[in-house]
Every structure is written in structure tokens, then in C-alpha cells.
A and B are shown apart, each in its own frame.
Chain A
Amino acid sequence: MDRHEFLRLHQLFAKPLWVFLRKSCQDDELAQDIFQETMTRFLSQKLKDPEDVQIKSYLFRIAINLMNDEYRRKQRAYRSVPSLEEEARRQPPMDDLSLDMDRLFSKLGRKERSLLWLSAVEGYSHREIAVMLNLGEPSIRVLLFRIKKKFATILKGEGL
């Protein structure tokens, strides 16, 4: 892939991927590292004329796998360190609306955030998410339902 083609794809997919990573990780530095690694891995591939939709889904898949690896490594290395979710629960409410929304979203687990974002914001179907996460389609349906119910309880608890 040449530089010109990369810049075109960057324009198309970098923002959704970046926002997805930020919202899922709730950690800007980690999101940046994973974003860079995702792009590097993507560039190291020789894909034969893929469609743009496939590229987007492939980028998300690489990013999800990298996130999983990173959190698995982190869990091993820092078992005593409180998780992002625990930290988020301790944080006091913030004034800025987007930060406050981030705080609420952080109350979900990392995988739950990813799943909900892919479905509710990116608009991926259960089947597409199942392929990305290497899970069965029925499992995705059940998981999403539970996550939505859980998040609804969180939102109601905050008086929404």
C-alpha cells in the first residue's frame, strides 16, 4: 500500500477507530499505542483489493485483538492495581459533559464498552461483531441485551 492510499484510508477510518479505542480503553495513551500498532499491522498486510467496508471491519478486528492482548498482559503485570472501572467509580462527577459521559461509560467493563459501541454507534450487525470478536452470533445477541440492561440500570442510578 502506498502513502497516498494510506492517507485516503486514514481520512475515512482513523477517526471512528480512534474514538472507538478512546471510548473502549478510557486511557488516551493506551489508545494511541493501540491505534499506532493497529495501523502498523494493517500496513504490514498485503490485502488484495479489499472493499472499504472490509478494511474498516478488519481495522476494528485488529484493534480489538490488540486491546484484549494488552489487558491480558496488564492484568498479569498489575494485579494489585485497581482497574479502570474501579478508578472511574471512585472519581467524582465532572463538570464537562463529555467527561461526565465518559465517566458513566467507564462504569461498564472494557469488553462491554467495545461491544456496545460497535453495535450502538458503529452500527455493526450481530453477525459482524461475532466475526470481529470470534464469538457466536447468538452469544452476541445475549451479551448485548445484558449489557444494555446493565447500562440502563447504571444510567437510572445516575438519575437519567
Chain B
Amino acid sequence: MNEQRERSGNANIPVPGPDRDLELVSNWMTAYSRTPSPRDLLLPAPETVWNRAMERLSQPRHLTLHSRLTLLAPWIAGLLGLIGLLLSHHPFTETISQPIRSFFKSLPHLVQLIGQSLTPMILPITITLICAIGWMIPKAHPSGKRT
């Protein structure tokens, strides 16, 4: 203990010794990894693994509905973005903006001002958001990690 106190540079602060719990776990894990288990012999033979993998890879890729959607999402979002861009120059945008404008009129003055100035932008903003979400949907990664 005295040695530990000297090492700490302060006689009142004892330096803790090696953590016995961590040591116990570390020793046990070492022993565990070195204890052969009969089931370790079940390691699949390399030829079998290779043949199965090649068989799988030669088959046409099966896509789940989720994979299909994630692959299509950027294209769908892009298409919607294009439609949005075209519609923002169309009188239709003004038509759908009317009820939104009326809604903002019922709100306090400041909100009304902000809302009304943003109204013509609502359709492009919505579509841009859809696009952004579409792009952000994780694409399937071979490691299984969501990118």
C-alpha cells in the first residue's frame, strides 16, 4: 500500500491495485478459448462452403419486398421530385395553395406572415423532403450494415 501511495504522488490517495474482477474474467476467457470443445470440430469443410457459396451465387438474386423498395426508392423519389418541379410552375399549385392560405389567415399575425410567405413553396418543399427521405432510405449492403 505504501508503494502504491508513493506512486500516486500523494500519501492520502491510494492507487487501486489491479482489478481482481477483470483479472478473473480475463483468466477465465483465456482458459475458455484454450479448452477444446468437441463441437469445435463441426467446422464446415472448405470444399462444402465453397460449393454451397458458388451454387448460391450462380442462382438469380432473390430480392425481398423491402430490398426491392429500397432499391427503387431513389428512382421513385427522383421521379416525384421531377413531377414536383413541373407542378410548381403549374396553376394547379396555386389552386391547392388556397385552402392552406385560408388556414394561415386564422392564425396569429406572425405565423400568418411566415405561413403565407411559405405557402407557394409548400409543394416543392414537400416533394424535396420526399426525395431526401428516399435518398436516405438505407440501401442493402453486402455486410448487412445499413449504409
A80 interface residue per 8 A CB criterion: no
Of A35-43, A48-56, A83-91, A135-143, the stretch lying at the interface with chain B is A35-43
Residues in chain A near residue B25, CB distance under 8 A: 116, 120, 148, 151-152, 155
A19→B57 CA distance, assembly (Å): 25
Pick 10 A–B contacts, CB within 8 A, sort by A: A7-B46, A18-B40, A39-B53, A40-B57, A69-B144, A120-B29, A121-B29, A121-B30, A151-B25, A156-B24
Residues on A lying within 8 angstroms of B by beta carbon are: 3, 6-7, 10-11, 14-15, 18-19, 22-23, 28, 32, 35-36, 39-41, 43-45, 58, 61-62, 65-66, 68-69, 96-99, 101-102, 105, 116-117, 120-121, 134, 145, 148-149, 151-153, 155-156, 160
Counted as pairs of residues, one from A and one from B, with CB atoms less than 8 Å apart, the total is: 109
Within the complex, the shortest CB–CB distance from A141 to chain B, in Å, comes to 12
Query: How far apart are the CA atoms of A35 and B21 in the complex, in Å?
Result: 33
Question: Would you call A120 and B30 a contact (CB within 8 A)?
Answer: yes
Do A44 and B142 touch across chains, with their CB atoms under 8 A apart?
yes
Once the chains are docked, how many angstroms separate the CA of A23 from the CA of B28?
14
Cβ-neighbour of A160 out of B24, B44, B53, B54 (below 8 A)? B24
